[in-house]
Amino acid sequence: MKRERFLKSIFGTGALLSIPFSSNSINIDELNSQIKSISEKCKGNMIGFKTEPIKTVKVGLIGIGNRGKTLIQMFDYFLNNKKAEIVALCDLDKTNIDYALNYLKSKQSIIPKTYANGEHDWQNVAKLEDVDLLLIATPWEWHTKMAIFGMENGKHVASEVPIAYTFEDCMKLVETAERTKRHCIMIENCCYNSEELWIMNMIQEGVFGKLTHAECAYNHDLRALLLHETYYKDQWRMKHHTERNGNLYTTHGIGPVSFYMNIGRGDAFKYLTSMSSKEENLSAAVKEANQNFPVIKCGDVNTSLIKTENGKSIMLQFDVHTGRPYSRINQLVGTKAVHEGYPSRLYIDGDELEFWGHKWLTNEDYLTFSKKYEHPMITKLKKISSSFKQGHGGMDFIMIYRLISCLNQGIPLDINVYDSVMWSVISPLSELSVSLDSKPIAFPDFTAGKWKEKRESEIMREI
Ligand SMILES: NC(=O)c1ccc[n+]([C@@H]2O[C@H](COP(=O)([O-])OP(=O)(O)OC[C@H]3O[C@@H](n4cnc5c(N)ncnc54)[C@H](O)[C@@H]3O)[C@@H](O)[C@H]2O)c1
Residue extents of the structural domains in the chain: 2-39, 57-188, 191-386+417-460
For the Cβ of 166 lying below 6 angstroms from any atom of ligand 1, the answer is no
In CATH terms, the superfamily for domain 57-188 is: NAD(P)-binding Rossmann-like Domain (3.40.50.720)
- Beta strand segments in 125-261, E: 133-136, 156-159, 184-186, 211-219
Q: Ligand 1 pocket test: pick from 64, 122, 138 the residue with the most ligand atoms within 8 Å of its Cβ.
A: 138
pLDDT at position 5: 75
Question: Considering only CA atoms, which residue is closest to atom 27 of ligand 1?
Answer: 138
Rounded to the nearest angstrom, the distance between the alpha carbon of 139 and the centre of ligand 1 is 5
pLDDT at position 160: 98
Alpha helices in 375-425 (DSSP H): 376-384, 395-409, 417-424
The structure's pTM equals 0.96
Q: Ligand 1 pocket test: pick from 66, 121, 247 the residue with the most ligand atoms within 8 Å of its Cβ.
A: 66
pLDDT at position 18: 57
pLDDT at position 17: 46
User: In the predicted model, what is the mean pLDDT of residues 291-304?
Assistant: 96
Residue 46 CB neighbour total at 10 angstroms: 22
For the Cβ of 91 lying below 6 angstroms from any atom of ligand 1, the answer is yes
For the Cβ of 64 lying below 6 angstroms from any atom of ligand 1, the answer is yes
- Categorize the per-residue pLDDT at 352 as very low, low, confident or very high, splitting at 50, 70 and 90: low
- Categorize the per-residue pLDDT at 14 as very low, low, confident or very high, splitting at 50, 70 and 90: low
User: In the predicted model, what is the mean pLDDT of residues 282-291?
Assistant: 98
Rounded to the nearest angstrom, the distance between the alpha carbon of 308 and the centre of ligand 1 is 32
pLDDT at position 23: 53
Residue 212, pLDDT above cutoff 50: yes
pLDDT at position 30: 85
pLDDT at position 386: 65
Q: Which atom of ligand 1 is nearest to the CA of 96?
A: 39
Least-confidence region, from 31-35, 80-84, 272-276, 395-399: 31-35
pLDDT at position 274: 98
- Categorize the per-residue pLDDT at 354 as very low, low, confident or very high, splitting at 50, 70 and 90: low
Pick the CATH number of 191-386+417-460 from 3.30.360.10, 3.30.1300.10, 3.40.50.2300, 3.10.290.10: 3.30.360.10
43-69 residue pLDDT tens: 999 999 999 999 999 999 999 999 999
Question: Considering only CA atoms, which residue is closest to atom 33 of ligand 1?
Answer: 91
Q: Which atom of ligand 1 is nearest to the CA of 93?
A: 37
Residue 9, pLDDT above cutoff 70: yes
Residue 7, pLDDT above cutoff 90: no
Question: Considering only CA atoms, which residue is closest to atom 32 of ligand 1?
Answer: 119
Euclidean distance between CA atoms 403 and 198, whole angstroms:
19
Question: Of 442 and 4, which is predicted with more confidence?
Answer: 442
Least-confidence region, from 1-15, 166-180, 235-249, 295-309: 1-15
Rounded to the nearest angstrom, the distance between the alpha carbon of 235 and the centre of ligand 1 is 11
pLDDT at position 379: 87
For the Cβ of 145 lying below 6 angstroms from any atom of ligand 1, the answer is no
Mean pLDDT, rounded, of the chain: 93
For the Cβ of 189 lying below 6 angstroms from any atom of ligand 1, the answer is yes
Q: What is the layout of strands, in order, in the sheet containing 156-159?
A: 113-115, 84-90, 57-62, 133-136, 156-159, 184-186
Q: Ligand 1 pocket test: pick from 141, 160, 235 the residue with the most ligand atoms within 8 Å of its Cβ.
A: 160
Euclidean distance between CA atoms 223 and 376, whole angstroms:
38
Cβ contacts of 367-372, under 8 Å, gap ≥ 24:
369/202, 369/207, 370/198
For the Cβ of 153 lying below 6 angstroms from any atom of ligand 1, the answer is no
pLDDT at position 389: 66
pLDDT at position 353: 52
168-177 residue pLDDT tens: 999 999 999 9
Euclidean distance between CA atoms 449 and 463, whole angstroms:
28
378-419 residue pLDDT tens: 888 888 766 666 767 789 999 999 999 999 999 999 999 999
Q: How many Cα atoms sit within 13 Å of 230 on the Cβ side? A: 2
Rounded to the nearest angstrom, the distance between the alpha carbon of 89 and the centre of ligand 1 is 13
For the Cβ of 394 lying below 6 angstroms from any atom of ligand 1, the answer is no
Euclidean distance between CA atoms 104 and 299, whole angstroms:
42
Q: Which residues touch 93 (CB under 8 Å, ≥6 apart)?
A: 64, 116, 233
Rounded to the nearest angstrom, the distance between the alpha carbon of 143 and the centre of ligand 1 is 10
pLDDT at position 86: 98
User: In the predicted model, what is the mean pLDDT of residues 315-325?
Assistant: 98
Chain centroid to Cα 419, Å, comes to 9
For the Cβ of 134 lying below 6 angstroms from any atom of ligand 1, the answer is no
For the Cβ of 67 lying below 6 angstroms from any atom of ligand 1, the answer is yes
74-118 residue pLDDT tens: 999 999 999 999 999 999 999 999 999 999 999 999 999 999 999
Question: Considering only CA atoms, which residue is closest to atom 31 of ligand 1?
Answer: 119
DSSP secondary structure string for all residues of 315-341: EEEEESSS----B---EEEESSEEEET
